[in-house]
Amino acid sequence: MGLGFNFQTEYKKIDLIVVYMANLINIVMAVLFIARISGLPQVEYVLGIVVMIMGFTLGYIAFLNRKSKRDKWEAYLLIPIFLFFVVDLILDYVLSFNFRSTAIVGPYLLLYYVGLWGLIGCCFRFDKKWGFMTLATYFLNMILPVLGHYV
């Protein structure tokens, strides 16, 4: 009975962290959008920082996945959401630029959706049930702000 390190078990733990973060990002972003619609800028600001920390953590996990020579998709599917949060940090927090009413919003939203789709892909790669759960929280992320806007 050895005390050896089981990489597969550790990789599963890391993948489960990705799955949890993907679902949390969807849920927190839905609440963030409702806070924006409701005129609660302090709540929006704090939730933005919370999801940004998760996004940067996913970027670090992507780096670790490549460094440990895991399947390339374990890193590539996480890169768009990481890049989205880098762009968001620069535009929203560093430059404090109101870009949402400019032409920049198109590529920004595209990067956001591609990032979320990458997270869905990661979750399906981990486990089909978790993939469908993440797909459900993705649609929650899409629908709740719309409902919040009209209710």
**In the structure encoding, which two tokens stand for residue 67, read together?**
């460094």
For residue 102, the 8-state DSSP code is S
Query: What residues make up the domain containing 113?
Result: 11-150
**In the structure encoding, which two tokens stand for residue 12, read together?**
């599963």
Q: Where does the pLDDT of residue 134 fall: very low under 50, low under 70, confident under 90, or very high at 90 and above?
A: very high
Tell me the Ramachandran region of residue 2: left when phi exceeds 0, alpha when psi lies from -120 to 50, beta otherwise: beta
Kindly state the average pLDDT of the residues 27-52. Answer: 94
As for how many domains the chain has, the answer is 1
Residue 21 lies in a domain: yes
8 A C-beta contact, residue 110 and residue 79: no
Whose tokens are 């929650």? That residue is: 140
Residue 122 lies in a domain: yes
**94: exposed, middle or buried (Cβ count in 10 Å: 0-12, 13-18, 19+):** exposed
Q: Where does the pLDDT of residue 3 fall: very low under 50, low under 70, confident under 90, or very high at 90 and above?
A: low
Residue 6 lies in a domain: no
* Whether residue 9 has pLDDT greater than 90: no
Residue 2 lies in a domain: no
Residue 123 lies in a domain: yes
Residue 1 lies in a domain: no
Residues of the chain by 3-state class (helix, strand, coil), percent to 5: 85, 0, 15
